[in-house]
């Protein structure tokens, strides 16, 4: 059976989304649950959601589901009814975006993976369902007030760079797989301390809390529903937000503003800024922070090299890519090889990169 996929180009899909008049909801949900045949389930979900004009990025594995989606408001009730009809996902809790118009995704992607969260854990005795204690926003704020509490950010460095809880330990890592050993090392000798963990929507810190318990930590807690649910609860209950700045999200919005605090700076000029962008040179696509002035000056690119390529006609860009080492991995290697606070120097170095044909 052929794999069900959307073959329309992203440029055309984005143009269609921009013209679209229907209302949409941006949601996310996950569940750790044993799925016998994720491939068959994948095809069933794709057909159902494609017909409902749902967009998003969904991962399925034998251990469960992880989904971020844009659902037409008119189809919302049908969407929920269908999901509840599946034993795997009955009454699964949804997290709703706090801002945006629902146009967060432009196509539907449903993939089967080995795990819904790649963790690098190979020990069969590890039980991801043996999680820590769930805390809602109010309980999380109260636990933060204890000076002996240890707060751990289970997100990647580029996420915590623009927003985080006060006094949180933020691992300098690019992946969840890299973070776990860094967190264990940071907490070494503190097995009896109260540990609070958080992430974007709850899926990473839930597995991390189980891993910390597996490693012998006694009082492990995690923010229920992640920052997304926290933002909703503090708004509804008029609570003080202990999370400052922007919540990085993995869709077209890139970030949800939680408070007006700006914690980071433009990677090109050093001005206060917390706007993440992807380099407009599609052959690079480096994720970095860029202010409005630099965006205008650099045409949304990370270097002069990328700007010169992005300014070429699309067909010339395609021809340029053929038969040469891509500039993107080179840019990324330079970016990761130096201290990120000194990215201005890194970008100067990037300008020296030579394109090879």
What are the catalytic residues? 199
Give the angle 144-149-154 at the CA atoms, nearest 5°: 80
3-state secondary structure of 152: strand
Kindly provide the residue ranges of all beta strands, DSSP E only, lying in 205-336, ordered along the sequence. 219-223, 243-248, 255-257, 276-278, 287-289
Question: By C-alpha distance, which of 169, 59, 77, 170 is closest to 117?
Answer: 59
Cα of 175 vs its chain's centroid, Å:
11
* Whether the Cβ atoms of residue 45 and residue 66 lie closer than 8 Å to each other: no
Q: Of 343, 323, 316, 320, nearest to 332 (Cα)? A: 343
In the block, which residue shows the tokens 């100067």? 348
Concatenated DSSP letters of 250-263: SSTT-EEE-SS---
Q: How open is the CA angle 137-142-144, to the nearest 5 degrees? A: 95
CA pair distance 268, 273, nearest whole angstrom: 10
Instruction: Please tell me what DSSP assigns to residue 192.
Output: T
Beta strand spans in the chain (E): 24-32, 55-61, 64-72, 95-96, 108-112, 133-135, 150-153, 163-165, 194-198, 219-223, 243-248, 255-257, 276-278, 287-289
Task: Tell me the residue length of the chain.
Answer: 357
Distinct helix (H) and strand (E) counts, the chain: 13, 14
């Amino acid at each position: 059976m052929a794999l069900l996929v959307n073959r329309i180009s992203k440029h055309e899909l984005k143009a269609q989304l921009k013209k679209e008049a229907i209302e949409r909801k941006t949601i996310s949900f996950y569940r750790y649950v044993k799925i016998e045949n994720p491939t068959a389930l994948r095809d069933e979900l794709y057909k159902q959601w494609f017909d409902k004009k749902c967009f998003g990025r969904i991962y399925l594995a034998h251990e469960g589901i992880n989904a971020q989606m844009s659902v037409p408001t008119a189809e919302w009730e049908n969407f929920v009814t269908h999901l509840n009809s599946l034993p795997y996902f009955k009454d699964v809790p949804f997290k709703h975006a706090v801002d945006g118009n629902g146009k967060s995704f432009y196509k539907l992607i449903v993939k089967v993976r080995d795990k819904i969260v790649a963790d690098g854990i190979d020990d069969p005795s590890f039980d991801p369902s043996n999680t820590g204690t769930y805390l809602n926003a109010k309980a999380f704020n109260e636990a933060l007030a204890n000076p002996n509490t240890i707060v751990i950010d289970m997100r990647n460095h580029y996420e915590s760079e623009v927003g985080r809880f006060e006094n949180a330990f933020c691992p300098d890592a690019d992946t969840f797989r890299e973070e776990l050993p860094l967190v264990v090392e940071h907490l070494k000798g503190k097995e009896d301390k109260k540990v609070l963990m958080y992430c974007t929507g709850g899926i990473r810190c839930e597995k991390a809390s189980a891993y910390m318990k597996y490693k012998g930590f006694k009082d492990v807690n995690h923010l229920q529903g992640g920052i997304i649910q926290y933002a909703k609860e503090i708004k509804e209950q008029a609570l003080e937000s202990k999370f400052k700045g922007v919540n990085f999200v993995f869709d077209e919005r890139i970030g949800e503003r939680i408070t007006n605090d700006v914690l980071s700076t433009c990677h090109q000029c050093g001005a206060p800024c917390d706007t993440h962008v992807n380099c407009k040179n599609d052959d690079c696509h480096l994720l970095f922070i860029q202010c409005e002035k630099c965006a205008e000056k650099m045409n949304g690119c990370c270097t002069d090299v990328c700007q010169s390529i992005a300014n070429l006609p699309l067909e010339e860009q395609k021809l340029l890519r053929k038969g040469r080492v891509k500039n993107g991995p080179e840019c990324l290697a330079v970016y990761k090889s130096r201290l990120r606070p000194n990215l201005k120097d890194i970008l100067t170095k990037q300008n020296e990169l030579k394109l090879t044909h």
